[in-house]
Amino acid sequence: MLTSLPDIAASNGTIAPNIPSGRGRPLRVALAHDYLNQYGGAERVLEALHLLFPEAPIYTSIYDADVMPSYYREWDIRTSFMQRLPGWRKHFRRYFWLYPSAFESFDLSEYDLIISSSSAYAKGVIPRPGAVHVCYCHTPMRFAWRTGDYVAREQISGAQGAVLPFLLTFLRLWDTAANARVDAFVANSRAVAGRIQRYYGREATVIPPPVVLPPANFAPPADFYLAGGRLIPYKRIDLIVEAFTHLGLPLKIFGDGRDRARLERMAGPNIDFLGWVDETTRSDLFARCRAFIFPGEEDFGITPLEAMISGRPVVAYGAGGALDTVVEGVTGRFFYEASPAALAAAVSAVHNETYDPVAIRQYAERFGLDLFLSRIREQVERAVAAKLVY
């Protein structure tokens, strides 16, 4: 089974574009990404951008090759001075005040086009005069602009929680200044486009992230529900554990993280923690579950679409990026109060409803890789046409 974007692109013959500059020659392109030390939806977007521009170097603050896909080692990845800091693998969050300098330190004077993939710092690179900078924004940096939310979600308390808002003041000032270095914003969801408008005063084109589309294979669902991802507090897996412990319905949770031990202590015997699973196992779980449960407010959230590709409905918290992917009564059901009781009520409703797997799959196909690449290319061409490159 093809599970990575590079594999999918190779199988369908995806061709990288040559976008001409004002002089009629191909653009010199660079990519920028916040950090490469964990793998998630943002990194899948980077993979898609790399498919469009495979010769473009990738500028990033830090890169941990041991935890990233092996094919990243074939890319031209250029790290900042932060790669040489002591203990950066463990303490990279504590160095947050250095990231702005890290991205501003890159010499990008040879490039005509820069595409940043950013939820924090990468959009702060400094293009040369006349160059075009398109930012694919996963969200304006959450810890700077939604600090109270971030502190609560990450369970930061004590002296650290009291001091953090003051330390982040300079990051807001820097982020506001860095916003002016972007020629065109792309947002991954309507919710993020709204934040870009609020915090930066800028319009953004909404282009959802790509999802891998394996061949349709609709099997009868097994008798279990599914949840998973990184098991960290803000994902709100605790709501699922409490709801399903009360309902007594079978639940499987894949993934790992610092919240796992607490969640396991909360869970009833009907809940099975699978830990990390490979892509083949993950796809099989999506294909066989009765429904996928998505309880957190995410900027976009790719896992609901992964379930829909297999024709499975989704029970999602009605906020954030889920509003762009879940259609009430067609691809799943929302709950609007972040409580175990509200989630349990939605699951009970879905348990007694019938969904058309073909219709769910057809809706998910709107988020496929080919459409994403086409829309990104169009956006880049518009940005280049609007600004003469010398």
Decide if pLDDT at 146 tops 50: yes
Helix, strand, or coil here: 345? Answer: helix
Average pLDDT for 178-187: 96
Lowest mean pLDDT across 93-102, 213-222, 231-240, 379-388: 213-222
Q: Would you call 157 exposed, middle or buried from its count of C-beta atoms within 10 A (0-12, 13-18, 19+)?
A: exposed
Residues 117/31, Cβ–Cβ less than 8 Å? yes
Q: What percent of the chain has pLDDT over 90?
A: 71
pLDDT at 1: 36
**Comparing 336 with 162, which gets the higher pLDDT?**
336
Measured CA distances, 1 to 7, 11, 15, 97 (Å):
9, 11, 21, 42
Q: What angle do CA 167, 108, 20 make, to 5 degrees?
A: 130
**Comparing 213 with 186, which gets the higher pLDDT?**
186
- 5-210+368-385 and 225-366: same fold? yes
Q: pLDDT digits over 69-86, tens only?
A: 999 999 999 999 999 999
Spatial distance between the Cα atoms of 193 and 330, rounded to a whole number of angstroms:
25
Q: Which listed CATH number (2.40.40, 3.30.1330, 3.40.50, 1.10.10) goes with 5-210+368-385? A: 3.40.50
Residues 267/273, Cβ–Cβ less than 8 Å? yes
- The yes/no answer on whether domain 225-366 falls in CATH 1.20.1600.10 is no
Decide if pLDDT at 184 tops 60: yes
Decide if pLDDT at 149 tops 50: yes
**Comparing 345 with 26, which gets the higher pLDDT?**
345
Q: pLDDT digits over 301-353, tens only?
A: 889 999 999 999 999 999 999 999 999 999 999 999 999 999 999 999 999 99
Domain ranges of the chain: 5-210+368-385, 225-366
Closest to 95 (Cα-Cα) out of 125, 73, 120 = 120
Q: What percent of the chain has pLDDT over 70?
A: 87
